[in-house]
Amino acid sequence: MATKPTKLIVNCSTGERTVVELTAAEIAEREQMAQEAEAQRLAEEQAAADLQALKDSAKAKLIAGEPLTAEEADTLVL
């Protein structure tokens, strides 16, 4: 049997610690936050890959003596 996620509540005045199961709303909120974080991570990875591809294209064109697009030039002159 899977256990429910819990949270630790600490009373700073007394030092008392209480472990409480998360509510369904708290679990849903955490799942939503995890999905958003994963989507953000994937978007950042894709942006980095796109930038690297643009840089690689610019470098190949420079080596071949071909003209660069404005976007490619922008990656070289930041």
pTM higher than 0.85 for the full model?
no
Q: How many residues does the chain have?
A: 78
- What pLDDT is stored for residue 78 in this prediction? 62
In tens, the pLDDT along 10-63 reads: 999 999 999 999 999 999 999 999 999 999 999 999 999 999 999 999 989 988
Where b means 16+ CB within 10 Å and e means fewer, 60-72 reads: eeeeeeeeeeeeb
